[in-house]
Structure 1
Amino acid sequence: MPEQHPVRHDHALPRVVPLPEDDWDTRTRHLLAAVPRDPGGRVPNIFTTLVRHPELYEQFMPFGGQLLRRGRLPGRFRELLILRTSYNTGAPYEWGRHVPLAKASGFTDTDIDRIVRGPEADGWTTLERNLIRAADELNRDARLRDATWEVLTEHFDDAEMIEITMLVGQYHMVGFFLNSVGVQLDPGFDSAGLVEGKADDE
């Protein structure tokens, strides 16, 4: 059966509009104060959209920050899992925001293209190939196969294995949110490279 590629979820207009700064109340300003800003001081759309649910935002941010900024996985492996999950969920916002982070972790343009082509693409190490398989298996089956688990546990301890599954799950959830509400990619970021449409079934 040919590999199925995810459908892109671009919307001409967001279904939920980011909260304009003129409408920020004291609580909103406090919640957004710690967010890293883009060049020019702009708050990314993901945060100004999610903050419309301040209680959820307040609980989500520490968990997301733990995985993204304070996790146990090396940056290269973290971004490999996130970008493959972005591909699997067809999330252009997630892809566009994480390509620069992946490059900061040492990925080249060739590496980024290889992520789209999957675990069988030439050039991966055995470990990287199995991390991509892990992202794919979690996306498809909601669990890791025994063979993938065994390979990964040769390199990662119990806490890191837990983090792998939680990281992929977290970015599935984020992808569902971004795609469904139509969060628009911020100026200066590009989702080029994320494959559109589905492979033909023939």
Structure 2
Amino acid sequence: MIHPLRLTPLPDVEWDDESRAALSSLIPAERANVRGAGNVLSTMLRHPALTAAYLPFNAYLLTASTLSPRTREVAVLRVVYRSNCDYLWTHHVPLAARAGLTTADIDGIRSGHCADSTDQLVIQAVDDLTTDATINQHTWDQLCDNLTHQQCMDLTFIIGGYLLLALAVNTFGIQNEEPAQGRR
């Protein structure tokens, strides 16, 4: 689904030291420009203080949580799929592939039916949270049988964190940098 463009990326000529500093927790200085940052980060720079506060949390979710990259990407893809967020979908499919997810796995994330039991459990946690704003007890018990409590906490925050980001991307109408295949 394409959402109406409401906020445009901050143009290069308007970037300043505060803008670049706001991105420092997530991207290296050499990528601190419109092309390197992409439309989502460049749009967020319209509010550098918010960006500087938000990105360390997002960087933790993306790179430092206790979850495997595969589990993280299963959760992220399901959240952004359910949120109709083509922008984040197209950006995370390559990350999912690098994390070992196949085309069949990604199709399973879309349909909600994954062959891998852990992936299916993550899908259920996403669906629970995005439907009822909680993970139901049965799903939670299964998660705790397969993950540590820290991993369960990270999973909950990854789901919520990417739901927040998808809501912002959709609301601002952030567009893909180039034509890309959406969620199908």
Q: TM-score, normalised by structure 1?
A: 0.83
Is 1:47 paired with 2:41?
yes
Superposition deviation, residue 10 in structure 1: 3.0
Q: After TM superposition, give the deviation of residue 67 of structure 1 in Å.
A: 0.7
Tell whether 2:3 aligns with 1:10.
Answer: yes
On the 8 A contact 1:93/1:191 being kept in 2, the answer is no
Q: Deviations over 1:112-161 (max 9, x none)?
A: 1121111xx3x522221111010000000011111111111011111111
Q: State how 1:124-135 maps to structure 2 within 5 Å.
A: 124-135=115-126
Give how far 1:27 is off: 1.2
Structure 2: stretches of 5+ with no match in the other structure: none
Identity, in percent, stands at: 31
**Equivalence for 1:86:** 80
Aligned residues: 180
Deviations 1:75-99 (A, max 9, x none): 0000000000001100011101100
Structure-2 separation of matches of 1:53 and 1:41: 18
The answer for the alignment partner of 1:117 in structure 2 is 111
Counterpart in 2 of 1:65?
A: 59
Alignment pair present for 1:101 and 2:111: no
Question: Does 1 or 2 have the higher relative contact order (CA < 8 Å, sep 6+)?
Answer: 1
1:10–1:92 contact (8 Å) kept in structure 2: no
Residue 169 of structure 2, aligned match among 178, 183, 187: 178
Q: CA RMSD in A?
A: 1.9
Query: What displacement does 1:186 show?
Result: 1.9
Partner of 1:168: 159
CA distance in 1: counterparts of 2:170 and 2:59, whole angstroms: 21
State the match for 2:135 in structure 1.
144
Greater fraction of residues in helix: 2
After TM superposition, where is structure 1 displaced by more than 3 Å over at least 4 residues in a row? none
Query: Residues 70 and 190 (structure 1 numbering): CA distance in 2 closer, same or farther, change over 3 Å?
Result: same
**Counterpart among 6, 16, 23 of residue 14 in structure 2:** 23
Cα displacement (A) at 1:109: 1.5
Q: Which residue pairs with 2:27 in the alignment?
A: 35
- Alpha-carbon deviation of 1:20? 0.4
The structural deviation recorded for 1:41 is 5.3
TM superposition score normalised by structure 2: 0.91
Q: Where do 5+ consecutive residues of structure 1 fail to align?
A: 1-7, 196-202
